[in-house]
Amino acid sequence: MEPSTRLQFPSVARGAIFSLLCLVAVACLSATSLAQAGFTGIFGGGPLYINAANNINELKSSGFTEVIVWSVEVKSNGDLNLNGEFPLTSNGVYIGDQTHPDFASNMALLKTGTVKRITFSIGSSNFGDWQDIKSLVNSQGTGTDSILYKDFAALKAAIPSLDAIDFDDENSFDTSSTVAFGVMLGNLGYKVNPDAFSDSSYWTNVVSQINTQLPGTVDGVHLQAYAGGSGNNPCVGWNFGAVPVWPGLWDRDDTPSQVQTIMSGWNSQCGINGGFMWLYDDFVGNGLAAQYANAINTAVSTSGFKLSGPASVFLNQGSTANAQVTITPLNGFTGKVTVSLSTLPKGVRAQMQGQGTKRKLVLQATPNASTGFTTVTVTGTSGSIKETFTFTLAVSAGIGSTGTGTPVDLSSEFNLNGIYTDGTTYTSGGIDGVGYSYSANLLTTARVFSGVLLKFGPANQLDAVAGEGQVVSLTAGQYSSLMMFGTGIQGNQLSQPFIVKYTDGTTTTFTQSFSDWFTPQKYAGELEGVAMAYRDFDEGTKDNRTFNLYAYRFLLNKAKTVQSATLPNNANVVVLGATLIP
């Protein structure tokens, strides 16, 4: 932030600030849309990556809708580092899990409450960050081969809950490199928020140029109205057209009551729809977070409603799944709200039941519904007020015991313990050798993929096949295709050969890439087989993230009689079931 802001900390070395500062957030289990169009933000540092559990829980239910992680330093070689103590990237690769392995998951966890946006702030009063960005842009550009592109692509891939980048440039002010950097971030899927305390003409020009080249990239401006920015008024001298200004105050200057009064005045004067507080580190765990959030929310809110619901819904072919959509009135709102959904995948239909503040969403999939992941937008409309939230719909193969096809008997080749019932403790190493396995409770004993039956081995014993070049006998016959349920482990497994041999001695080789069970890549020939809300661990616990089992279908020569199939000689390719389809 602005220079005198940093100087308010006790006299410690820059590296020691690490013990005071940080900010985190994590993967979404519920989603909320507020009536206000802006964000109620909170800057924070170390408390959100050092012993962060209690602080994450406080912030996620505080009422703040934006958490701004401060401060990302950009090194001369492009490496990113939080507060000089927490390396985030090295040579374009995310390494944050080496120092704080829970950082990415904590980021997502913030979004299970009121927080809607996670923002990382670059720069401060310190000289260097934006000078290094300028030098890197001028020497390498911002293309896919540049280190800045690689760094921020890696950051977003590792922390998918990360939404925006805050530009806290307080001493460089180079228009061309800042604009190029902002457009690059926009193309990577980030929003951009300048963080100004002076020189409004510079920032107005930057915002205009970025949004001219990539409309909508800058969707708000953080304006410091404290310390060096003391006296700033978002209604005077800070006009960015359609881009809103979100002013910030400092808890050391203003109580929650004073913040509400000041923000209410600005709301009346020019209609501010958001604001922020500096600095969470000052009031960790003492209850002031909720008070400051409420002060800003009350000041900038208008009559309306918030819309909330699940972050994920798991649906099987030939089945239904229910979810609750909640409408919470704000500031005396009494209007009628109509709820609608965006386009659903083929074979899935929805019905919204009820008229009150709690609506029941019923999703139904046909036996042949398209499997995979779809982002669904739920929209609530009341007159001119329109609010949304999104959830991920995961459609999997149906649960059943009957279907077409001749199951392949893999039992003689089982060499992995890949499936366990929930709560089981075991020492086999699981499917990946480090203790993780599929949940038998979620996977069940068989699945029916668009009418094709695939059976799984018995839980809690050898029940999966790791590739070792095995030759698997097939039931002799003439078939149109061979379907398999499998996955990659220990990363994606590219271009794996499967060889089908016919009784006449001829063979057909199929080359297939396999996604890791945690990172679906949608390779050619790969479909979602079963998406599961968690996996099991050998201590009897659950890893509550989404894991996948994929479906593959190889077209056979129906004029010939099959004899055997040879699996890849790669233990990181695992097959759990196979069926010959007539």
Q: What does DSSP assign to residue 239?
A: -
pLDDT of residue 306: 80
Where residue 331 falls among pLDDT bands split at 50, 70, 90?
Answer: low
pLDDT given for residue 302 in this prediction: 67
Q: What is the pLDDT of residues 510-566, one digit of tens each?
A: 999 999 999 999 999 999 999 999 999 999 999 999 999 999 999 999 999 999 999
pLDDT of residue 35: 39
The Cα–Cα gap between 491 and 475 comes to: 32
Q: Which is it for strands 526-532 and 117-122: parallel, antiparallel or unpaired?
A: unpaired
Question: 453 in helix, strand or coil?
Answer: strand
pLDDT grade for 19, boundaries at 50, 70 and 90:
very low
The domains found in the chain, sorted by start residue, are 3-301 (3.20.20.80), 307-396 (2.60.40.10), 399-581 (2.60.120)
What one-character DSSP code corresponds to residue 43?
E
| Dihedral pair phi/psi, residue 461, rounded to 5° | -155, -175
Nearest residue to 118 via CA among 190, 226, 196? 190
Q: For the residues of 77-140, what is the DSSP string, one character each?
A: TS-EEETTTEE-EETTEE-GGGT-TTHHHHHHHGGGTT--EEEEEE--SSSSHHHHHHHHHHHH
Does residue 27 register a pLDDT over 60? no
Beta bridge partners of 264: none
Q: DSSP strand E in 241-347: where?
A: 245-250, 275-278, 304-310, 312-316, 320-330, 338-341
How would you list the strands of the sheet with 419-420, edge to edge?
A: 419-420, 436-439, 535-537, 542-543
Q: How confident is the model at residue 345 (pLDDT cuts 50, 70, 90)?
A: very high
- So what's the pLDDT on residue 28? 32
Instruction: List the structure tokens of 215.
Output: 């409309």
What amino acid is encoded at 439 in this protein?
S
Written as one string, the DSSP assignment of 285-303 is: TSSHHHHHHHHHHHHH--S
Question: 560: part of which helix (H) or strand (E)?
Answer: none
Mean pLDDT (the chain, rounded): 91
Greater confidence (246 vs 305) lies with 246
Torsion over CA of 203, 207, 208 and 212, rounded to 10 degrees? 160
Quote the DSSP letter at residue 212: H
Please give the structure tokens belonging to residue 234.
């978002």
